[in-house]
Chain A
Amino acid sequence: MGQLRIFAGGLCSALALSVPVPARAFTVAIAAGSQEIYLQVGVGGFSGTYIAGGTPGNNATINNVSVTVATTTVGNGTALAMATDSSVGASSYDGYVFCTPNVQLYIGGFYRRPGNGNTTATITATVPAALVDAAGDKISFAEISWTTGGNGDAGAEPFPAGTFVAGGSQVVGTMAHNTWNESCWTFSYKNSAVPPQGSYAGQVVYTMTAP
């Protein structure tokens, strides 16, 4: 019995030693941040790069994609590569040289929507029926196509290859929420039409829509 009393005393000592100081913890609150979308077609308005803390902004520049068709080859059905006046090659995400300037048109951006909703933003092209010259002559926008890709790229492109739907609205890409997406487009002119000589132009508007 005497031994048990000694044990009891030892147990109390052990308990006293196990709580010598007030235990604390520190807390860091994390917030998802606000919803944001950013779309860049050609020259964009990003200051710096995203991973370096850059911020998106507006840029009113409208880039051109163009080709000159020689008189002797007009309408021969041989597609012609189109050049762009966009000198953007670097990704606004990290500065990686992704596209070939003046050859490929950079298209990229992000859709940020924190939360567990599995949502997708859609990028739509609103396409006129035709390119028009000063005399009112027309070339269907369906004559223009694009391929897609980028330096060091792999897997499916967020902005796949396609052909303009003349006079329509078409989806040209999607972005899953909380992802950066980018592709490089190389345009070509189908050259199947035989229009009067002239300078033909038309403007496609790209719109990003997020839920």
Chain B
Amino acid sequence: MSRRRTPAPRPLRPIAAALLLACALTARSATTAIDDGATIVYTPTVTMGWQSRSPRAHSSTLMAGTTPVRVRLNVSPWLHRNGRIYLVLPAQQPGPIRASWTTQGRLLPGTLVSGTRALVYSGPITTPVMEDLIQLAIAVDGRQMDRVYNIDFRFEMDSN
């Protein structure tokens, strides 16, 4: 009578264990760029005006401009899940950039500087598209404004 032997389970090799752990962490809190292709910037080229907190201070190099933006986010991949949505302003030319915005209430108002992101929504995703009209203000150092610059924004989703 022959008997078939079942090999005893072997422990995972260290590298495989590490990869599994990485996958587990990724699945726990994934950050994904959101499809915002339907978003409309109503003033595609914003003419900046320099501003000063007080002309009596006699020094100001800040230039600022605003535009309404109809934000439309395709969040269908996260429907019926919880998520946190961030507005991201990557570091880019012409140098330090400050952005601030007001909203109609669907998203959170806020402020951020280039190289950072700010929370604009946290909670359940109940509709496939999230939409809001924001008033976006951009401020830069006027001394760097020697040509037209394209300022890139994106939205990210942190989901569980």
Q: Which residues of A contact B (CB under 8 A)?
A: 3-4, 7, 10-11, 14, 17-18, 20-33, 51, 91, 93-94, 96, 98, 108, 110, 112, 114-116, 118, 150, 152-158, 176-182
Q: Is there an interface contact between B50 and A112, defined as CB atoms closer than 8 Å?
A: yes
Q: Is there an interface contact between B143 and A178, defined as CB atoms closer than 8 Å?
A: yes
Q: What residues of chain A lie closer than 8 Å to B77, measured between beta carbons?
A: 20-21
The CA of A98 and the CA of B56, in the complex, are separated in Å by 9
Q: Is there an interface contact between B12 and A28, defined as CB atoms closer than 8 Å?
A: no
Chain B binding surface, main DSSP class: mixed
Q: What residues of chain B lie closer than 8 Å to A4, measured between beta carbons?
A: 16
Partner of B36, one of A11, A25, A29, A93: A25
Q: Is there an interface contact between B148 and A31, defined as CB atoms closer than 8 Å?
A: yes
Q: What residues of chain B lie closer than 8 Å to A30, measured between beta carbons?
A: 45-46, 48, 65, 138, 140, 145, 148-149, 151
Q: Is there an interface contact between B23 and A14, defined as CB atoms closer than 8 Å?
A: yes
Instruction: Assess A179 versus B46: contact at CB under 8 Å? Given A11-B19, A24-B33.
Output: no
B103 at the interface (CB under 8 A from A): no
Q: What residues of chain B lie closer than 8 Å to A180, measured between beta carbons?
A: 52, 55, 60
Interface centre among A7, A31, A91, A154 (most CB of B within 10 A): A31
Q: Is there an interface contact between A33 and B36, defined as CB atoms closer than 8 Å?
A: no
Q: Is there an interface contact between A93 and B55, defined as CB atoms closer than 8 Å?
A: yes
Q: How large is the interface on B (under 10, 10 to 19, 20 to 34, 35 or more residues)?
A: 35 or more
Q: Is there an interface contact between A7 and B20, defined as CB atoms closer than 8 Å?
A: yes
Name the residue of chain B whose CB is nearest to the CB of A176. B59
Partner of A23, one of B35, B47, B148: B35
Q: Is there an interface contact between A179 and B145, defined as CB atoms closer than 8 Å?
A: no
Name the residue of chain A whose CB is nearest to the CB of B136. A28
Instruction: Assess A32 versus B61: contact at CB under 8 Å? Given A7-B20, A23-B35, A26-B69.
Output: no
The CA of A190 and the CA of B102, in the complex, are separated in Å by 57
Q: Is there an interface contact between B41 and A28, defined as CB atoms closer than 8 Å?
A: yes
Chain B contacts with A in 1-54, Cβ cutoff 8 A: 9-10, 12, 16, 19-20, 23, 26-27, 30, 32-37, 39, 41, 43-52
Name the residue of chain A whose CB is nearest to the CB of B45. A29
